[in-house]
Structure formats: C-alpha cells, structure tokens
Amino acid sequence: MPIELVILISSAGVGQFEHSLIVVGENANAEFIVACAAPVFTGLSLHDGMTEAYVHRGARVRLVDLKNWSKDVIYFGNNRAIIEENASVDWLSGSLGGKVTIVYPMSVLKGINSRTTVTSVALANGPTWKEEGAKVFHSAPHTYSKVVSKGVSLNGGTSVYRGLVYVREGARYAKSSVSCESLILDDKSKAYTIPHEQVFEDTATVTHEAYTGRIGEDKLFYLRSRGLSEEEARSLIVLGYFHDIMVNLPVEYVSIFNRAIELELSRMGGVG
C-alpha cells in the first residue's frame, strides 16, 4: 500500500513548511505520494516542501508529488534521495496551478548498479512560471538515470526545464539520458530548456534531446470535424500529450489529474 500525504494551504498570506523523511530497508518496495492543493485566495501564500529518502541496497521506491495550487501560491520543492547498490528510485512530479513553481528532484546514485528515473509534467496556464527539472549525481560504476520532462504553456504562461547530470570520475560505464518536450499553445507563451552536464568519466554515456512544438492545425481540424469544440479539442490534445507519463500512476490518480487539467484549461477560457 502506498503512503499518502495530503497538504492543504488553508489561508492566504501564510508560509508553510513540510518535511518528509523516508528510510527504505534492503530489498523493500515502497510508494510515497504527496498531494498538494489550495483554494483560491486574494493574497500570496508560500509552500516549501521537502522529501528526503535513503534507499538501502536492492530496494525499489516510487515517489509521487502532485500539485494543484490556486493562482496565488508560490511553491518550492526540495526533494532528494540517496540510492545504494542495486536500488532504484522513480520520481514523478505533476504540477498544475500556482504563480511560481520550482522543483528539482535530486538522486544521488551512490551504489553500484543503482538507478533512477525522474519524470515531470507541468501546465503553465496564464501569468505563471513553471520550472521543473532534475539533478542526478552518478557516483558509482554501472549507474543509470533517465530524465523525462513535458511542459505545456498557454495564455502567457512560461514553462522551464532546468537540470543537472553530474558523473564523477570513477563512475565507470554510467549512462544517462535526458528528454525535454515543450508544447506552446499560443504566441503569448514561452518555453525554455536549460540542461547542464558535467562528465568526468571517459566511459560514461550521457545524452540530451529537446523538442518544442505547437498544436498542429490539422489535428484541431480533425477533432472539430468530429463534433468537438475548439476548447474541447485542445484539452484532448493536452491530455494525450501527457498520457504516456500519466499511465504510470494509479488509475484513481490519473482520473483526478485528468479532471484537474480539464478544469485548469476551462478556468481561463481554454486557450487564447
């Protein structure tokens, strides 16, 4: 059974700090889910969240961080894990709402054959700044990391991927791949990709790819010819864009997150 933590900002003008410490024993399997939300306020609020995990040899851990803030919330996510021999950690971060969101899950691959994946999805709707990324430190031989980031910007929103892959000397045959995709839905919105790699081991393999695109008019035309409104068509395309990541969540969370995306897109009149 996953461990669930639900966080709610209950009033405006507050600063809130949350710290979770997780220790996972040898060969154990664990899932930890943090769900964050806030109603609509007239003043700014701050949430600073921290999740720290120590994952012992052979353990398997999935850490899920879902955010659906009101438009006046500033959120900083400070998440990190130390991963021992033959252990793995999967980070999954989903971000909706908020004024400013900055999240960088960090994995320290300390043991031989340790692995990590960091996956993030962000929807920057309206005058908001969504900055999601990852920090991965390869400190042992035969370690592996995979970073996947998907962002959607609309109505003047800005989505940013900022990441670091660091391979120490002696981390022989370490492998890392980073993939960043951005979807821009109008001329007012922006997307940036800021990767950084520091590789000090000749046998390591580190790759990075980035793609920024727009919704094709042919797709919109096809969906509208099937009876969908333009807003419904754009929402369906965004949901499809996130689908390959969302399938890694439990069914109940996929349903909630999809509904939250639909509400987020309709709240400001869809896409301008």
The structural domains of the chain, with segments of one domain joined by +, span 3-215
**Percent of the chain topping pLDDT 90:** 40
Mean predicted confidence (pLDDT) in 124-149 = 94
Mean predicted confidence (pLDDT) in 172-197 = 92
Give burial (CB, 10 Å; 0-12/13-18/19+) of 175. Answer: middle
Please report the pLDDT score of residue 207 as a whole number.
95
pLDDT in tens, 36-66: 766 665 567 887 888 899 999 999 999 888 7
Distance of alpha carbon 180 from alpha carbon 160, whole angstroms? 10
Distance of alpha carbon 245 from alpha carbon 7, whole angstroms? 23
Give the other-Cβ count within 10 Å of 221's Cβ: 11
Q: How far is CA 44 from CA 10, 74, 88, 130, in A?
A: 12, 7, 37, 16
DSSP track, 51-78: EEEEE-TT-EEEEEEEEEE-TTEEEEEE
State the angle between helix axes of 251-267 and 230-246 in degrees (0 to 180), rounded to the nearest 10.
150
Scored b (16 or more CB within 10 A) or e, 103-141 reads bbbbbbbbbebbbbbbbbbbbbbbebbbbbbbbbbbbbb
Among 1-5, 61-65, 141-145, 187-191, the range scoring the smallest mean pLDDT is: 1-5
Nearest alpha-carbon partner for 141 in 167, 116, 159: 167
- Indicate if the pLDDT at residue 8 is higher than 70: no
Nearest alpha-carbon partner for 176 in 187, 164, 160: 164
119 — alpha (psi -120 to 50), left (phi > 0) or beta?
beta
Distance of alpha carbon 169 from alpha carbon 142, whole angstroms? 13
